Amino acid sequence: MKRGPSVEISIDSIRHNYDYARGLSNNRPVIAVVKADAYGHGAVKVATLLEELGVFCLGVAFVSEAIQLREAGITAPIMVFFDTPDIAEITRYALIPVISEVGSARTLSEMALRYNMQVSVHVKVDTGMGRLGFVSDIDEEKIKAIATLAGIKVTGFMSHFSEADLVDMNFANVQLERFVVLKARLINHYGGHYGGVLWHIANSAATMYLAPAHLDVIRPGLMLYGYDPIREDNPNLRPAMTVKCRVLDIRRLPAGRSVGYGRTFVTQRETLVGVIGVGYADGFFRALSNTGHVIVNGRLAPIIGRVCMDVSMADLTDVINSAVDGESTPQECILLGSQGNAALWANKLARAAGTIPYEILTSLGRTPDRTFT
């Protein structure tokens, strides 16, 4: 029997969310972020859909992810955010590299000249993320130097907000300001040389809540999968991933018995303990021990005791005792999703587990075994 939970992805929901993002940005072109296997939703399927919808470009973290998409037949432009493809990969797979320092730009330039090519690149600007890229107010000369390298054509500039949830809108505005100032300075310096070059900085939060950041192209990830990085419930978005697992057994324990490793839960009453087939090895966070829930028969049931490697325990007493006549013993439970009046989406799990919805999705979705509806 197959191990672990089963993951269902609603392609229609992703379509809806993509349309919503476009609408919000006045139909700007979209660089749709499908890194980390499309946040656990299956990059090939998601990219296929986005391509059908006419997406402007796809964004991945690493060259290997781009190659996976090309080998699956994806033809849309692909931008690689974090590692730099070599010239053979750029030509063979038609990739758009992102340049974050002068050395790799020089190497690329030399290779492009040798192959008598011109490579289109986007330049990464650090406006406050402190990760990769040319520091907007320090490295201006270096950026200008890249523009003079033969064999390379700068077709875009990108920057990234250091707060995915833009809780500190003031700092987001500082970053945006630095980016826009740089744009103005480069335009002045080159006298329009940069016309037609695309400037982009808008992640999901900025797409939804910071319209001045939309600039030329938006670059959303999380919202495509149905989550708002700021509001826990946003009725305009549709979460695309549902995760279920099997109920392996239901045991009746008297009051006063401990459940699971470390005996962190002790029954206060006669308890129906559901043993469910998901554990931290499946991306079900151990931090959900004694704090998370699952949905069984359309009702929330608390996780009791510690989440184990392969299985976990849930208190099904109320769910089963309130079952209506004819309702059968539960065979499965929902870890992520909704049923009846109960909903358990990644924002809520993230709060219970002390993390962010991004990590919930990439953890629970980390399986090649998904069903698409």
Ligand X SMILES: *Cc1c(COP(=O)(O)O)cnc(C)c1O
> Is 261 part of the annotated catalytic residue set?
yes
Cα distance between residue 262 and residue 191, in whole Å: 68
Which of 11, 6, 66 minimizes the C-alpha distance to 225?
A: 11
Q: Taking the complex as a whole, how short is the minimal distance between the CB of residue 92 and ligand X, in angstroms? A: 23
CB nearer to ligand X: pick between 81 and 157: 81
Q: Taking the complex as a whole, how short is the minimal distance between the CB of residue 56 and ligand X, in angstroms? A: 14
CB nearer to ligand X: pick between 31 and 342: 31
Q: Taking the complex as a whole, how short is the minimal distance between the CB of residue 351 and ligand X, in angstroms? A: 17
What's the CA dihedral at 184, 187, 189, 191 to 10 degrees? -140
Three-state DSSP class for residue 68 = helix
Kindly give, in sequence order, each residue whose CB lies less than 8 Å from that of residue 144, ignoring residues fewer than 6 positions away. Answer: 186, 189, 190
CB nearer to ligand X: pick between 41 and 219: 219
CB nearer to ligand X: pick between 125 and 353: 125
Residue of 35, 45, 124, 244 marked catalytic: 35
Q: Is 251 annotated as a binding residue?
A: no
Sign of the alpha-carbon torsion through 55, 59, 63, 69: negative
**For 227-345, where are the alpha helices, taking DSSP H only?**
317-321
Cα distance between residue 126 and residue 122, in whole Å: 13
| Rg, C-alpha atoms of the chain | 24
Residue of 144, 153, 190, 261 marked catalytic: 261
CB nearer to ligand X: pick between 43 and 259: 43
Footprint on this chain of ligand X (rule: CB under 6 A): 33, 35, 81, 160, 164, 203-204, 219-222, 229
Cα distance between residue 145 and residue 277, in whole Å: 57
DSSP of 83-108:
S---HHHHHHHTEEEEE-SHHHHHHH
Q: Taking the complex as a whole, how short is the minimal distance between the CB of residue 109 and ligand X, in angstroms? A: 23
> Is 153 part of the annotated catalytic residue set?
no
Per DSSP, what are the bridge partners of residue 301?
Answer: 294
Q: Taking the complex as a whole, how short is the minimal distance between the CB of residue 18 and ligand X, in angstroms? A: 12
List b or e across 205-230, with b for residues whose CB sees 16 or more CB atoms inside 10 angstroms. bbbbbbeebbbbbbbbbbbbbbbbbb
Please report which helix (H) or strand (E) contains residue 15, including its range: helix 11-24
Q: Is 131 annotated as a binding residue?
A: yes
Q: Which residues are annotated as a binding site?
A: 131, 309
Q: Which residues are annotated as a binding site for substrate?
A: 131, 309
Q: What are the catalytic residues?
A: 35, 261
